[in-house]
Chain A
Amino acid sequence: MTAKTLYDKLWDAHLVQQRDDGSALIYIDRHIVHEVTSPQAFAGLRIAGRKPWRVDSILATPDHNVPTTIKERASGVSGIEDPVSLIQVQTLDDNCDEYGIVEYKINDLRQGIVHVVGPESGACLPGMTIVCGDSHTATNGALGALAHGIGTSEVEHVLATQCLVAKKMGNMRIDVNGKLGEGVTPKDVVLAIIGKIGTAGGTGYAVEFAGDVFRDMSMEGRMTVCNMAIEAGARAGMVAVDDTTIEYVKGRPYAPTGENWEKAVTAWRELTSDEGAHFDAVVELNGADILPQVSWGTSPDMVADINATVPAPADEPDAVKREGMLRALEYMGLEAGQKIADIKLDRVFIGSCTNSRIEDIRAAALVVKGRQKSSSVKQAMVVPGSGVVKAQAEAEGLDKIFVAAGFEWREPGCSMCLAMNADKLGAGEHCASTSNRNFEGRQGYGGRTHLVSPAMAAAAAIAGHFVDVRDFVRS
């Protein structure tokens, strides 16, 4: 038998029909739905007189538009001040009610960012195919699943047929071996990977993250890494199943139980790449070489080590890239050669589907504890990824640490990652953000995003500028 990669196994197990032209029908086990990319899909379904193929495969929750202040959340959907956001969240409720889809509504304890809720509830499991109308669906690949984002037409297609028309991607493996240094986190690992291979480096591939660093990583950490596979161009990122995966899944609300649990675990143990399986591309990094990362530009591959300087476009031989760097520096208001540590921050955002899980909140709290937000930072906000994460953090007293340090402790949602709700940057403001995209205007019109880990964001909020979090850890 030919040796298979993890991706080959997941693909083969979900193949309904292979067509001669290379396209295929792939069965989808889990469909996660949110308010932004689904209304037009439900409308399409209704116009064509179709029904969802398997209603109980779907889980919905509003996240992109929901306000994150207690005041605005108090009266549920009707309390959303932005009338356009209100309609969108209400439309999700109406669609889910009409079709009988389970939805964690705005003030349900289980509501949160789709990619936090999926794994946390056990709705997303190893070995599944998982889709959602959101490019960060790759997060779920951390479970040893095939998970990726789809467009709204495909949301409608999956609703109607439980399948996706797809073409098999190539296999890429990214090996990070060795041990990470103290204070170096999964976010730094994935930013370093994107810095190395570029935002199109993984285009056309399903990426498996392999090597000691990922084996040693928690599930939360693996989710952070898989989450940003798309920022390297790859629709899907994944990590092979091991004890860490199985321990994480055990006991989750939708995880199998009893005899089915035993059978599932046996099947999940097979979800690794076979010895000698063929990869079309392999990238290697040494874990020990990775330092805390900070993005300086307007594309997630524009990253630098914390102790480095802003790179000079003049040193870039490729004309199109050089042009991009010049434009980025102008937008960001930075000078080539300026120290990364000298970049001053106006706001700090700890949250998003990349970094809003309990481990992220703990890492930030550890840095913040007993310290004060710098007076030069206008706002530092912590937005937990779900009501469950929020409750857990509060049970550990983490909210009190943040509030005592002058941070804001918010209700769960996507928040300032993409600024579809009221949480946004002003023009020209610099933000240390644990989110995933530093595109122009992403966090607010004219806003300047610097992508960092939760610990680095927390340290920057204390210092007022970027600092090497490893110094904080030592001090």
Chain B
Amino acid sequence: MKSFNRVTGIAAPMDRANVDTDMIIPKQFLKSIKRTGFGKNLFDELRYLDEGQPDQECTGRPLNQEFALNQARYQGASVLLARKNFGCGSSREHAPWALDDYGFRCVIAPSFADIFYNNCFKNGLLPLVLSEAEVDQLFSELYANEGYELTIDLPSQKVLTPSGAAFSFEVDEFRKHCLLNGLDDIALTLEQADAINAYESKQRESAPWLFDAVKN
């Protein structure tokens, strides 16, 4: 997994609440059996004026010029500033894959849906919670200043603004450790194989029906 330490980049706005994962990456693109290549279809229905198809070349498609990511000032953005309950709906990990593939490293919002929040950490993408007032402030600064950049410093758990303000954020110890070091969860869990085996033996004794095989 990609590690995350300190990221500085242009911030782009996604100024609406309850952005669902269908909006982040519409269903027709979930037919891919790969993990990559979803960036060109990130926010497809908002970004383009036509209906997108899987495996389609996107360069000639008509763009919705009103959509932030199509505006010159937000090109190359790596921080997405969003509103509450970002990532609600479906569990599709294609949503963080699409954000990552587009180039985003961090999403800042007042709250996230649980499954999306969890999925981000598995992909080196940091979902970062700030208070509603702080997010409001970042939105106004972002709109007022072209080329507005934010720095996210994971070791010190701070968001730094161009004016020098710093906002602290919380992140789980374990998740922070994995992000900083780009650690693969599975390898870490397999180090605990003895504990898993011990649990299984005990359960097989007390609740054997839980181990009845699924048979054809």
For chain A, which range describes its interface: under 10, 10 to 19, 20 to 34, or 35 or more residues?
35 or more
Q: Which residues of A contact B173 (CB under 8 A)?
A: 21-22
Do A440 and B22 have beta carbons less than 8 Å apart? yes
Binds B, one of A155-163, A237-245, A286-294: A155-163
CA distance A440 to B51 in the complex (A): 13
Closest to A327 in B: B16
Asked if B45 is an interface residue, CB under 8 A from chain A, the answer is: yes
Do A102 and B195 have beta carbons less than 8 Å apart? no
Do A165 and B212 have beta carbons less than 8 Å apart? no
Asked if A441 is an interface residue, CB under 8 A from chain B, the answer is: yes
CA distance A163 to B186 in the complex (A): 9
Contact with B along A37-60 (1 / 0, CB 8 A): 101100100001010010011110
Q: Which residues of B contact A156 (CB under 8 A)?
A: 186
Asked if B203 is an interface residue, CB under 8 A from chain A, the answer is: yes
CA distance A162 to B203 in the complex (A): 13
Contact of A153 among B119, B213, B214 (CB under 8 A): B119
Asked if B196 is an interface residue, CB under 8 A from chain A, the answer is: yes
* B114-131 at interface with A (beta carbon < 8 Å): 114-115, 118-119, 122-123
Closest to A446 in B: B51
Contact of B16 among A22, A91, A102, A324 (CB under 8 A): A324
Asked if A474 is an interface residue, CB under 8 A from chain B, the answer is: no
Do B185 and A25 have beta carbons less than 8 Å apart? no
Closest to B32 in A: A84
* B165-216 at interface with A (beta carbon < 8 Å): 172-175, 185-186, 189-190, 192, 195-196, 199-200, 203, 207-210, 212-216
Do A102 and B192 have beta carbons less than 8 Å apart? no
CA distance A27 to B18 in the complex (A): 32
- Per the CB 8 Å criterion, the residue count for chain B at the interface is 60
Q: Which residues of A contact B16 (CB under 8 A)?
A: 320, 323-324, 327
Binds A, one of B3-11, B87-95, B142-150, B153-161: B87-95
B144 to chain A, nearest CB (A): 18
Binds B, one of A144-152, A177-185, A400-408, A461-469: A144-152
Do B209 and A263 have beta carbons less than 8 Å apart? yes
B82 to chain A, nearest CB (A): 11
CA distance A87 to B175 in the complex (A): 35
If the complex has contacts A84-B55, A161-B186, A163-B196, are A199 and B85 also in contact, measured as CB distance less than 8 A?
yes
CA distance A296 to B206 in the complex (A): 50
Q: Which residues of B contact A88 (CB under 8 A)?
A: 31, 33
* B29-71 at interface with A (beta carbon < 8 Å): 30-35, 45, 51, 54-55
Closest to B114 in A: A235
Contact of B115 among A53, A84, A150, A321 (CB under 8 A): A150
Q: Pick the most buried of B28, B92, B186, B200: most chain A CB atoms within 10 A of its CB.
A: B186
Do B209 and A17 have beta carbons less than 8 Å apart? no
Asked if A154 is an interface residue, CB under 8 A from chain B, the answer is: yes
If the complex has contacts A21-B173, A156-B186, are A233 and B114 also in contact, measured as CB distance less than 8 A?
yes
Asked if B23 is an interface residue, CB under 8 A from chain A, the answer is: yes
Contact of B31 among A56, A169, A420 (CB under 8 A): A420
Do A56 and B115 have beta carbons less than 8 Å apart? no
Do B172 and A22 have beta carbons less than 8 Å apart? yes
A193 to chain B, nearest CB (A): 16
If the complex has contacts A84-B55, A440-B45, are A254 and B92 also in contact, measured as CB distance less than 8 A?
no
Contact of A25 among B17, B54, B189, B214 (CB under 8 A): B189
Asked if B27 is an interface residue, CB under 8 A from chain A, the answer is: yes
Closest to A427 in B: B51
Binds B, one of A128-136, A215-223, A373-381, A383-391: A128-136
Do A203 and B113 have beta carbons less than 8 Å apart? yes
Do A264 and B207 have beta carbons less than 8 Å apart? yes
CA distance A36 to B21 in the complex (A): 14
Do A59 and B190 have beta carbons less than 8 Å apart? no
Asked if B84 is an interface residue, CB under 8 A from chain A, the answer is: yes
Contact of B20 among A48, A261, A439 (CB under 8 A): A439
CA distance A160 to B190 in the complex (A): 8
Do A420 and B115 have beta carbons less than 8 Å apart? no
Contact of B214 among A58, A233, A327 (CB under 8 A): A58
Asked if B78 is an interface residue, CB under 8 A from chain A, the answer is: no
If the complex has contacts A27-B203, A200-B111, are A40 and B34 also in contact, measured as CB distance less than 8 A?
yes
* A258-281 at interface with B (beta carbon < 8 Å): 260-261, 263-264, 267
Asked if A116 is an interface residue, CB under 8 A from chain B, the answer is: no
Contact of A320 among B17, B175, B210, B215 (CB under 8 A): B17
Q: Which residues of A contact B200 (CB under 8 A)?
A: 27, 162
Do B89 and A437 have beta carbons less than 8 Å apart? yes
If the complex has contacts A149-B115, A256-B212, are A441 and B92 also in contact, measured as CB distance less than 8 A?
no
A-B contact pairs, 8 of them (CB 8 A): A21-B174, A23-B172, A37-B93, A43-B35, A169-B114, A200-B84, A320-B17, A441-B45
Given contacts A23-B174, A260-B208, list 10 more A-B pairs with CB under 8 A: A37-B91, A50-B186, A53-B196, A84-B55, A151-B118, A160-B186, A200-B88, A261-B209, A263-B207, A439-B89
- Which 3 pairs between the two chains have the least Cβ-Cβ distance? A56-B213, A153-B122, A256-B209
